[in-house]
Amino acid sequence: MNQAAKSFWAGVRAEFPLLIGVFPFGLIYGALALGAGLAPLEAQMMSSIVFAGSAQFITAQLVGDAAPGLIIVLTIAVVNLRHMLYSAAVAPYLKHLPRRWKTVLAYLLTDEAYAAVGLHYESNGLTSTGHWFFLGAGLALWTTWQVSCALGIFLGAALPSAWPLDFALPLTFIAMVMPLLKDKPMLAAALSAGAVALLTQGLPFKLGLILAALVGIVTGTYLESRR
């Protein structure tokens, strides 16, 4: 096996533990999207057009609430704003690649792909086949996401409602947030955003989510620049 193929499969393997969490997530999304009134084709296409689990969840909920389209688009943008951070983090390792590679890898740059790829670049630095690792991790996640969403759409109402599957979303996010809270500004950003989210829960169309995120970002940035 040549170096590129080896690197590709190493990426697939590195992604594997994360896929175990992604699969139930996709199932719930599929079922939730149908419940919110999306057609099966719409629900499935959102998984490749938007390809971002948390944003898809929230979009499905907002569609169910009959929120205006502009508010849904704005919410998707704010919820996915964190991908700019990942983009900045991997950019130095992709700078030598042709544009089509950059385009494909950018499309595959999700939370879970970044979790595996960021770690790989941190420990290996820039290598001649690092982009194959990225492609392997990204495609493993993409395939799992499409299949699990399709299964969720197919099973839909057949998923037992006694399973609190929707609780997997906050649990996954807890696992993602906790390792980030290493200093006071990060903790303050998380706590202030959480508190504002609770205070603004009554606002229509999850506008409180956007407000809470902005308050958290401003609070953290302010504390950090004062240090």
Binding string, residues 169-188; x marks residues near another protein by CB under 8 A = xxxxxxxxxxxxx---xx--
Verify binding: residue 190, another protein, rule CB under 8 A.
yes
Q: Within positions 81 to 140, which residues make up the interface with another protein, using CB under 8 A?
A: 81-88, 90-92, 94-95, 102-103, 105-107, 109
Task: Give me the helices (H) in the chain, please.
Answer: 3-35, 40-49, 53-64, 69-79, 83-94, 99-107, 111-124, 130-155, 168-177, 184-199, 207-226
Verify binding: residue 198, another protein, rule CB under 8 A.
yes
Distance CA 149, CA 158 (A): 14
Q: Which of these, 115, 87, 89, lies nearest to 102 by C-alpha position?
A: 87
Distance of closest approach, residue 4 Cβ to another protein, in angstroms = 20
Verify binding: residue 45, another protein, rule CB under 8 A.
yes
| C-beta of 147 vs 195, nearer to another protein | 195
Coil, strand or helix at 185: helix
Q: Within positions 14 to 43, which residues make up the interface with another protein, using CB under 8 A?
A: 17-18, 20-21, 38, 42
Sign of CA dihedral 32, 70, 49, 51: negative
User: Judged by CB under 8 A, how many residues of this single chain contact another protein?
Assistant: 89
